[in-house]
Amino acid sequence: MRIIVAIDIIGGKCVRLTRGDFSTKKVYNKDPLEVARQIEDNGLSYIHLVDLDGAKNKKIENIKVLEKIAGKTNLKIDFGGGLRLYKDLITVFNAGARQVTAGSIAVTDPRLFMEWLIRLGQEKLILGADCIDRKVSTGGWAETSDKDIISFISDYRSKGVKYTICTDIKKDGMLQGPSTALYKEILGKVKINLIASGGITSIKDLEDLREGGCDGAIIGKAVYEGKITLKELGRQC
């Protein structure tokens, strides 16, 4: 299972939110590159880099952070936030991302999402499937659709999607454990590479997700709050 550390960006700084609420913003480091280097120095290879300004404003805002991290580390970067046009994807890949995550577009413009999937291929495009009360959310979690999370993932899997990041918004930033039961339910119905996100607080959480069949797990606030150390995570790789 891939161990992936989240780096969320607002105004060029490394931050964390609680349940996606911008009013809960807490700055952990003014230099995301320093965070990225610490991640790499502890033997980890993957980061989930989220442009929160981009997600909110519906356009890429923090491309320079991506360029700096990609240019000065060997980390494999998945980038999300503010992707609206195919040229945005090309910009992000040219800046050094290995994969991109697209969620809102998959809900609001399925035809465009499928165009991206066909043009990029299933290895480069990750379906962002964020939910609250099992309903898919969009727009930086500001809006909730009527789409059931399992049906949503299953539908896109049948169309060729290979990877999905599934975040239970109620768990995000709460440090109370992930939605392991939901992930097991999804994987019991859909054969997909599922990356768990939200609420992961301990090594035991990671072990449970691994046993449940998850392809990856994204850890954010637990690292920044010292609940799990990067050294401990490095041992899990």
Give the three-class secondary structure for 35. Answer: helix
Single out the catalytic residue among 78, 130, 168, 208.
Answer: 130
Look up residue 73 and give its DSSP letter: -
Q: Which amino acid is at 183?
A: Y
Taking the mean position of all CA atoms in its chain, how far away is CA 171? 14
| Alpha helix (H) residue ranges in the chain | 32-41, 52-57, 63-72, 86-94, 104-108, 110-120, 149-158, 180-189, 203-211, 221-224, 230-235
- Residue 8 annotated among the catalytic residues of the structure: yes
DSSP string, 188-211: HH---EEEEES---SHHHHHHHHH
Pairing of strands 216-219, 21-29: unpaired
Catalytic residue among 8, 88, 172, 208: 8
For the question of residue 215 being annotated catalytic, the response is no
Non-local CB neighbours of 42 within 8 Å, separated by 6+ positions: 229, 230, 231, 233, 234
Instruction: Give me the active site residues, please.
Output: 8, 130
